[in-house]
Structure 1
């Protein structure tokens, strides 16, 4: 087992440039090694550093920073250091504040809660200017594994929604030895370029309007110019009954000012349609994902009754979960950003799946 790393708040500036530790973590085996070998060099013993001036978001302690694979990751942490680790992954165009109310609930139940900003969000930064601003699914999964490695977390419960749910599903499918359980909003979200090439009925295609907009240079320029307006529109469409206020939106929208946010977002959606190349180092991982591997770790899937974003029906993905499994549909106008709209229900799912 890797050396346990105790994150500390220290003052040195985060590392930048091309100097990435090339030491590989030999203890990663099986499917987990596929992601690791394809994507990153593990980081040796390291200490978490305070993220630059973001301060202490409501619901969290001071943000921390750690060098992990391609990224210098800014993250929030809550709960006892020796608690059961749970990795919470946010979606697009949201941020770690989706878990501001979930984190203290889980911390009080004895979990060590880890909530990183994804690549292209908040204070997370690429460690090298030469690294492609890649948003493909395998890259995000590699980031998550590198983050756990950097913190010497051998196994964690993984949970998320939107991009975060997809990443959590990939870890549970390809690296089950790293996952104690899974909580996934909207179920099984692993995709492939081949599957995305298939046309959908017109009403279904209409829901993906922004994916087609992003396929154009007009769309890229529009998202860059009107990022906050665009994000707010997505929030309103995806959660039509969530009455969030201006302060709640502004708190998360600040994370979209990351200098790489637009590039990562546009690449994510263009890659899905086969309009942008991925990185060759992820090819083997994508081939595995294109076969739609089943997930055997204990899982609870969640869905809101007012999710306005494109999402599959629970009956369509139930067969993809071959281990202990339950599905819960939340009522009362719960939309796409389920952890923030129904934090107690989300936290309860984490506690319950952890007990399976």
Structure 2
């Protein structure tokens, strides 16, 4: 487990970002990005391992999580994908990191995929849980097969006032349920959840989460200052950097398919690995596989 004293802060144009730093400052940088509803604890068995090998490891709290705070009251509490990607770029700029290896899942995987696709010169390599995570917002309202639709109930819930009120009143209980549903075969989830749950007490957590799931269905406007990024994603761009996709066979959001539906989205060196007995929280459920993937790319 990370030492709370390792939390550091950096100012960016939109955020006062809290992050955990491991390893030597002169090491090759690796940035590890969590998703919803998780936090840096997803990397507790990964960051120290990489640091011991000489890498400089940065694990930020995303906007709306833990001690990260917005830089001012007038900044839209956006959870859109462009905001997550811009936050990652701003973090790298503030820390003077010209190029880094990226690993992420869920929201964090989305940020990593966007930066890898649009700013490949900033990305050494990419490990993305569940592959190509860039949202196709233009097609988001198209209905899917019923066995997929029922897994997305929480997204529809957050598009109602009842969902806003429910997340506000029951954020820890609701997120605990999502952990159980999304990682049904993970025996350690219940015991570890309490280490992450305090991150959801962030004052902007609810607003950021609600905006994220409303924007993706075009029921909420995005941040106008980020529209240029959203426009660049209308026709999903390919990812050219060396990449490995780690997919949980037991992922309750969407179990890994037999065929690789993302194959055409990666135009550079690319591998896909399906992890048996692993759910949605890939780094925390399969830390050894995650470290192995990163090291293969970094050394290769």
Same fold (TM over 0.5): yes
- Measure, in 1, the Cα distance between the counterparts of 2:47 and 2:108: 16
**Structure 1 segments (4+ residues) deviating >6 Å:** none
TM-score normalised according to structure 2 size? 0.96
What RMSD, in angstroms, separates the aligned Cα atoms of the two structures? 1.4
Query: Of the candidates 190, 194, 202, which is equivalent to residue 138 of structure 2?
Result: 194
Shift of 1:269: 0.2
Query: Of the candidates 52, 57, 82, which is equivalent to residue 138 of structure 1?
Result: 82
Q: Deviations over 1:117-165 (max 9, x none)?
A: 0000000000101101000000110001000100000000111011111
Matched, 1:267 2:211: yes
Contact kept? 1:133, 1:264, Cα under 8 Å: yes
Shift of 1:242: 0.7
- Measure, in 2, the Cα distance between the counterparts of 1:244 and 1:312: 21
Contact kept? 1:186, 1:303, Cα under 8 Å: yes
Shift of 1:271: 0.5
Larger Rg: 1
Higher relative contact order (Cα pairs below 8 Å, separated by 6+ residues): 2
- Measure, in 2, the Cα distance between the counterparts of 1:77 and 1:295: 27
Gaps spanning 5+ residues in structure 1: where?
A: 1-56
Contact kept? 1:63, 1:76, Cα under 8 Å: yes
Match for residue 38 of structure 1? Answer: none
Aligned pairs for 1:150-161 (under 5 A) are 150-161=94-105
Query: Of the candidates 304, 317, 336, which is equivalent to residue 262 of structure 2?
Result: 317
Range with bigger deviation, 133-142 or 312-321: 312-321
Going from structure 1 to structure 2, the CA distance change for 1:146 and 1:179 (only over 3 Å counts) comes to same
Range with bigger deviation, 307-316 or 131-140: 307-316
Going from structure 1 to structure 2, the CA distance change for 1:239 and 1:246 (only over 3 Å counts) comes to closer
Shift of 1:193: 2.1
Match for residue 294 of structure 1? Answer: 238
Match for residue 41 of structure 1? Answer: none
Aligned pairs for 1:125-274 (under 5 A) are 125-244=69-188, 246-274=190-218
Aligned length: 299
- Measure, in 2, the Cα distance between the counterparts of 1:252 and 1:320: 32
Aligned pairs for 1:38-53 (under 5 A) are none
- Measure, in 2, the Cα distance between the counterparts of 1:128 and 1:59: 28
